[in-house]
Structure formats: C-alpha cells, structure tokens
Amino acid sequence: MQRHIADTLGEVAGSIIATEPTSWPEFKKHVYTLFQDQNVSSNLAAFYILESFFTFCPEYFKEDSNDLYALFKNSFCHENEKLKLAALKSFSSYLEVL
C-alpha cells in the first residue's frame, strides 16, 4: 500500500510542480525529511515518490544533483536489498529523463 500511495503522491506533485514550479515549495523539504529518517520505510517512500516524480518534473531537483548523488550512492551500499532496489529504480527514472 505504501508503494501505491507514494507513486500517487509523486505523480500529483510532479503534475502540479511541472505546471507551476513554485506552487508546492515544501515538497522538496518533505522528501528530504523522509530521507533523514532512520526508518528504512521512510527512505523507501522517498525513493518511490521520486521515481514517479522524475517522470513529470526532473529539472526540479537539478540544483540538488550533489545531494541526490549522495543519497543514491549511500543507498546502493545499504544492507537492505529493498532499499537498494528502490534507489536503483528511482535513479533509473532520473536518468531516463535527463
């Protein structure tokens, strides 16, 4: 269920922000908050959101490429296989639209 909710949130946010980039200023902050949580479930949700979001609005995180790089790199080395896979799918989504 978490995956479906996160996908929907990513699609909605991407659609809104693609039309008006300043319409949801807290979005980025909330996604980074999920990554800062020590709970792997929160990190998974953040990657699920980004995977959908990048399809609609990849340039929104353009200025944060170094932060994204660190998030992806750290997650690829994480012991949790589910988190590695979520990071890989999100990264693939990001690369598809660059």
The pTM score is 0.94
Rounded CA separation 43/45 (Å): 5
What are the tens digits of pLDDT across the range 13-55?
999 999 999 999 999 999 999 999 999 999 999 999 999 999 9
**What is residue 98's predicted lDDT score, i.e. its pLDDT?**
77
DSSP per-residue string spanning 9-42: HHHHHHHHHHH-TTS-TTHHHHHHHHHHSS-HHH
Q: What is the pLDDT of residue 36?
A: 96
Q: Which domain holds residue 34?
A: 2-96
Q: How many domains does the chain have?
A: 1
pLDDT for position 58? 86
